[in-house]
């Protein structure tokens, strides 16, 4: 079966959907170990970091609006906010 223009459009839409918040997720997971130790000195804060990664990943899958994502980050608490501030696109929204 030959591709038609709708197949191409759906493929482009899927690619765009899959990449929402991908840069932010890459930046969070790319934080240097030293930065993480300073921001998450105990195991409770390490859990917040993990929860933040899951939250951003889930927000990408759900196509969550930026404002909703920022609200959910704030709900995670001060450590999550400090971690999110390391991502420039989040820092200008928080």
Domain with 41, as residue range(s), is 5-91
Model confidence at 1: pLDDT above 50: no
More confident residue, 30 or 7: 30
49 vs 43: CA distance, rounded Å: 10
Confidence band (pLDDT; 50, 70, 90) for 15?
low
Of 92, 72, 94, 90, nearest in space to 23 by CA: 90
- The percent helix, strand, coil of the chain (3-state, each to 5) is 75, 0, 25
Among 4-8, 71-75, 90-94, which is the least confidently predicted range? Answer: 4-8
Model confidence at 41: pLDDT above 80: no
The structural domain count of the chain equals 1
39 vs 83: CA distance, rounded Å: 7
Task: Let me know: does 41 contact 73? Beta carbons within 8 Å.
Answer: no
pLDDT in tens, 43-64: 777 889 999 999 999 998 888 8
């Amino acid at each position: 079966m030959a591709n038609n223009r709708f197949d191409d459009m759906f493929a482009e839409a899927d690619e765009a959907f899959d990449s929402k918040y991908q840069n932010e997720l890459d930046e969070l997971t790319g934080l240097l170990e030293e930065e993480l130790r300073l921001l998450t000195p105990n195991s409770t804060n390490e859990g917040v970091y993990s929860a933040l990664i899951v939250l951003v990943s889930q927000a990408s899958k759900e196509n969550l609006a930026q404002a909703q994502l920022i609200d959910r980050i704030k709900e995670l608490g001060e450590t999550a906010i400090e971690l999110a501030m390391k991502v420039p696109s989040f820092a200008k929204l928080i």
